[in-house]
Amino acid sequence: DTAVSQTPKYLVTQMGNDKSIKCEQNLGHDTMYWYKQDSKKFLKIMFSYNNKELIINETVPNRFSPKSPDKAHLNLHINSLELGDSAVYFCASSQWGQGAFGYTFGSGTRLTVV
């Protein structure tokens, strides 16, 4: 059983389009996250959600809108895609505990904007 699953795995789209990435975890965790990994492998914080509530929005442009319908799901919608949005987006989950618990990551969504 996949613990944190993301779909789609690959996404190629044109500039200006709107796209969504879905994430689901079956670990019973109460906190979920989105991270962006650029071509240099740097993992950048985007959002943190605890029990469906937004906890942190790390100065991400308004074009990015996360939605958590329940604590097992965290989706990411991106409007008006730009070339600079090309990256791998990772969803992750953990138990809440002030960073005291390890994250379980999804397999990532490679987004290419052309």
Partner 1 sequence: GQQVMQIPQYQHVQEGEDFTTYCNSSTTLSNIQWYKQRPGGHPVFLIQLVKSGEVKKQKRLTFQFGEAKKNSSLHITATQTTDVGTYFCAGPRAGNMLTFGGGTRLMVKP
Would you tell me which residues interact with partner 1 (CB under 8 A)? Answer: 31, 33, 35, 40-43, 45, 48, 50, 55-56, 58, 90, 94, 96-108
Nearer to partner 1, 18 or 58 (CB): 58
- Concatenated DSSP letters for 59-96? S--TTEEEEEEETTEEEEEE-S--GGG-EEEEEEEE--
Of 42 and 79, the one with the shorter C-beta distance to partner 1 is: 42
93 vs 79: CA distance, rounded Å: 24
Q: How far is the CB of 36 from partner 1 (least distance, A)?
A: 11
CA torsion, points 33, 23, 97, 35, in degrees to nearest 10? -20
- Token readout for 21 is 């990435």
CB of residue 44 to partner 1, shortest distance in Å = 8
9 vs 17 by CB, closer to partner 1: 9
When the beta carbons of 15 and 55 are compared against partner 1, the nearer one is 55
